[in-house]
């Protein structure tokens, strides 16, 4: 059996999108299809029309695990839901994620999502300690830990491209201080803008963009006194993302999103093709 699934991407973050009414072993499906299709995860969605429309989101990662939140993935969810329900541009959509309900608005070739309140406290990150982790040395790098829906270990450097991310990130990602692991995000400031690279937990490698990581960059920069802006452009390799983190710690993420065609994906242990 094979599934014909939509493929969406947000600033280079690519996802297969499926309806939750399909009976599929999604963890195994993600393991077998993410690398083959060159995507960063499988979004399994249950969209419901209403006032406002709502959609339940589950994200299965290439290692077969799940993630509580994904900023670029959620923006793809919003675009898919608007397409599937025939919603007008500017309609608010509520996305139900394991990290909480997130409001989203789809525009012309872009989407914006509310990312909720960022957290530095040890219980929320989480950390295996009782104090926040702010610019402390781990594996030779100054790390700041923040939860923007998922945990991030943010490291500010002079040049993000001068660091061998695939080598430096895993020891931090698996560090004892992170009992549930962490994404590792590099950032370099350019005035009110930042360059970004992220090694994603669950993908176990670098992705072209990471929305929760982009939010983590501005939040950490504010916490460290590296920026007094509430709005910044954060640029991972896949494109520019616009992040806001207000004085109360509430964040939004805006950036490009696009339908990228349909793909045929085999279902583990099955035989007949379905749509």
Tens of pLDDT, residues 211-259: 999 999 999 999 999 999 999 999 999 999 999 999 999 999 999 999 9
Beta strands, E only, 164-257: 183-190, 193-200, 205-207, 231-235, 241-245, 250-256
Which of 34, 70, 76, 265 does the annotation list as catalytic? 70
151-180 average pLDDT score: 97
Q: Which of 34, 76, 210, 265 is catalytic?
A: 210
Which region holds residue 35: left if phi is over 0, alpha if psi is between -120 and 50, else beta? alpha
Q: What is the 3-state secondary structure (H, E, C) of 163-186?
A: CCHHHHHHHHHCCCCCCCCCEEEE
Bridge-based pairing of strands 183-190 and 151-156 is: parallel
* Fold match, 2-113+257-266 / 119-248: yes
- Count of helix runs (H) and strand runs (E) in the chain: 4, 18
The predicted pLDDT at position 190 comes to: 83
- Is residue 21 very low, low, confident or very high in pLDDT (cuts 50, 70, 90)? confident
70 catalytically annotated? yes
Distance (Å) of CA 261 to CA 57, 126, 178, 269: 20, 37, 37, 25
136 has pLDDT over 50: yes
Say if residue 61's pLDDT is above 90: yes
What pLDDT score does 2 carry? Answer: 85
pLDDT value at residue 270: 60
Q: What does pLDDT average to over the chain?
A: 94
* Fold observed for domain 119-248: Diaminopimelate Epimerase; Chain A, domain 1 (3.10.310)
What average pLDDT does the segment 41-58 reach?
A: 95
Assess contact for 127 and 110: CB atoms under 8 A.
no
How much is the average pLDDT of 162-191? 96
Question: What tens digit of pLDDT does each residue of 84-134 get?
Answer: 999 999 999 999 999 999 999 999 899 999 999 999 999 999 999 999 999
Domain chopping of the chain, boundaries: 2-113+257-266, 119-248
34 given a catalytic annotation:
no
Topology adopted by domain 2-113+257-266: Diaminopimelate Epimerase; Chain A, domain 1 (3.10.310)
Which residue's entry shows tokens 């923040």? 146
Is residue 90 within 8 Å of 103, Cβ to Cβ?
no
pTM: predicted TM-score of the whole model, two decimal places: 0.93
Is-contact 260 238, C-beta < 8 A? no
Burial (CB count <10 Å: 0-12, 13-18, 19+), residue 204 = middle
């Amino acid at each position: 059996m094979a599934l014909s699934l939509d493929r969406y991407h947000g600033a280079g973050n690519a996802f297969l999108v499926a309806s939750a009414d399909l009976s599929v072993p999604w963890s195994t499906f993600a393991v077998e299809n993410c690398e083959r299709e060159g995507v960063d995860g499988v979004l399994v969605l249950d969209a419901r029309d209403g006032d406002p429309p709502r959609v339940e989101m589950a994200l299965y990662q290439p290692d077969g695990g799940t993630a509580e939140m994904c900023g670029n993935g959620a923006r793809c969810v919003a675009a898919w839901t608007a397409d599937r329900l025939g919603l007008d541009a500017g309609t608010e959509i509520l996305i139900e994620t394991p990290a909480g309900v997130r409001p989203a608005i789809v525009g012309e070739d872009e989407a914006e999502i509310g990312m909720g309140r960022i957290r530095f406290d040890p219980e929320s990150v989480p950390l295996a300690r009782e104090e926040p982790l702010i610019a402390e040395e781990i594996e030779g790098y100054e790390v700041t830990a923040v939860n923007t829906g998922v945990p991030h270990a943010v490291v500010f450097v002079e040049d993000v491209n001068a660091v061998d991310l695939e080598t430096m990130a895993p020891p931090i990602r698996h560090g004892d201080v992170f009992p549930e692991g962490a994404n590792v995000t590099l950032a370099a400031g350019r005035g009110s803008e930042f360059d970004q690279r992220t090694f994603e937990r669950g993908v176990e490698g670098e992705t072209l963009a990471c929305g929760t990581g982009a939010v983590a960059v501005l939040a950490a920069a504010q916490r460290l006194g590296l920026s007094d802006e509430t709005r910044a452009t954060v640029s991972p390799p896949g494109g520019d993302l616009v992040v806001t983190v207000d004085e109360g710690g509430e964040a939004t993420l805006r950036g490009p999103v696009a339908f990228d065609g349909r793909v045929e994906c085999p279902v583990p242990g099955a035989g007949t093709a379905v749509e």
